[in-house]
Every structure is written in C-alpha cells, then in structure tokens.
C-alpha cells in the first residue's frame, strides 16, 4: 500500500508540473460542449433533451485525449523499466497510474459536469445523478484506457490506434451513464443503472490492471 500511494503521488506531481495536460483536457471538455448549442441551435427544449448525452460524450473524448500520457513518457525516459524492477507488482503500478490519471482527469470532469449540464439547460433533478454516474464511470474509462495505453506503448503515433482500441469498450459505460440520468430525471429510478456502473467499476478494478500489466511486460521484452 505504501508503494501504491507513493506511485500515485509521483504521477500526480508530474501531471501538476506538466499542467498543460490537465488544463487542455478541461478546455477540450468545455469547448466541445460549447459547440453543441452553436450546431443544433439555441432551442432550450432540444438542448435539455440532449444535455446528458452531450456531457457524457464530451467527457469520454476528453478522458481519451489524455490516455497517451499514462505510460508513454515513462517508457521513453526509461522510468517504466525501473518501475518494473521495483519490489512492487506491475499490477499495482498500473492501478496506481490509472488512479493518478483519474484524479487528474476524471475527477475534474465529474466536478465540472453539472455546470456543463446547467449550460445546456439540463433538468436540475439530474445534476446529482450526473455527478454520481461520472464519479463511477470515469474510473472505468481510466482503467479500460490503461489497457489500450499499455498495448500501444512504444508504438510511433499510436494515438489513433489507441482510440480505435478503447472507444468500443467505452460504449457500455456511456450507455448506462446516460440512461441513469435520463431515468432519474423522468422519475423512473436510476438505481439499476447505477448498480451496473458500480459492477463495471469493480470488474475493471479486478481485471484491467492484470491485462495492462501483461501488455506492458510483452512490450518491454
């Protein structure tokens, strides 16, 4: 646990020093949502109806934008090989890096999501559910994205390949996140979909680090 926390703090410090990655992710999230009213028009009823989907899609794309920094920088400067030689299992290293990625990317997106929904005339009854589903769903995005980042580490210009690998795997999280908010706003109950998101998060925590660690070992051989 001490090694895990040290790795999380290390990656958070690196992300804060490089700052631009965090700021660009939030800026991309904001600009993407801002463009939708310009494209579909200022009709409040239409914006309110699509608000949940727009916020979730923008968050998904913003989280995917920063996946390449999970392992690539450490791979290029040799830090990843040193971490692999440390007395900490590779699975714990992967989990720590995904946790730091979520803290610096997914958590700010979850906090900003209700304000973006407000800008799109989203029903206020959905703000709390939107935040809750984002807090459950964005860690899943980081963990699944870690598998794609591990598979493409060391690949020149692997960003497009990374997107193609992880985007289909993101779809269930997107669907359950959107439906949970819509059902909650319509008074039909969001609990079943929140439970599914929770199950996906637990499954990703249990399985994704093993898959990512295996991919990293393969690429470092």
Domain extent listing, the chain: 2-220
The four Cα atoms 145, 151, 153, 155 give a dihedral, to 10 degrees, of: -120
Residue 195 is predicted with a pLDDT of 92
State the sign of the Cα–Cα–Cα–Cα dihedral 190, 196, 198, 200: negative
Alpha carbon distances (Å) from 186 to 39, 181, 190 = 26, 9, 9
Round to whole Å and give the CA distance between 183 and 192.
10
- Local mean pLDDT, 10-residue blocks, the chain (221 residues): 76 71 81 84 79 89 82 73 76 87 88 88 86 92 88 72 84 90 82 90 91 81 67
Q: What are φ and ψ of residue 145, in 5° steps?
A: -60, -30
Best CA proximity match to 177, nearest among 124, 135, 122, 115 = 135
> 157 Cβ partners below 8 Å, 6+ apart?
none
Inter-CA distances, 109 with 15, 30, 173, 185, 198, Å:
15, 10, 15, 21, 18
- The residue length of the chain stands at 221
Q: Are 150 and 215 in contact (CB under 8 A)?
A: yes
pLDDT of residue 136: 92
Instruction: Provide the whole-model pTM.
Output: 0.86
């Amino acid at each position: 646990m001490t090694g895990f926390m040290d790795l999380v703090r290390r990656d958070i410090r690196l992300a804060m020093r490089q700052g631009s990655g965090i700021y660009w992710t939030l800026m991309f999230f904001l600009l993407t949502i801002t463009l939708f009213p310009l494209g579909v028009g200022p009709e409040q009823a239409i914006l309110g109806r699509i608000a949940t989907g727009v916020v979730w899609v923008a968050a998904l794309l913003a989280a995917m934008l920063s996946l390449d920094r999970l392992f690539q920088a450490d791979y290029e400067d040799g830090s990843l090989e040193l971490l692999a030689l440390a007395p900490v299992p590779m699975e714990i290293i992967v989990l720590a890096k995904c946790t730091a990625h979520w803290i610096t990317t997914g958590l700010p997106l979850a906090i900003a999501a209700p304000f973006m929904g407000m800008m799109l005339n989203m029903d206020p009854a959905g703000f709390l559910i939107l935040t809750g589903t984002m807090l459950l769903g964005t860690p899943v995005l980081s963990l699944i994205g870690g598998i794609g980042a591990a598979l493409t580490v060391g690949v020149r210009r692997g960003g497009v390949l990374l997107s193609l690998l992880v985007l289909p795997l993101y779809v269930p999280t997107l669907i359950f996140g959107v439906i949970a908010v819509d059902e909650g706003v319509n008074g039909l109950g969001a609990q079943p979909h929140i439970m599914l998101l929770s199950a996906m998060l637990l499954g990703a925590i249990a399985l994704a680090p093993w898959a990512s660690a295996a991919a990293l070992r393969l690429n470092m051989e």
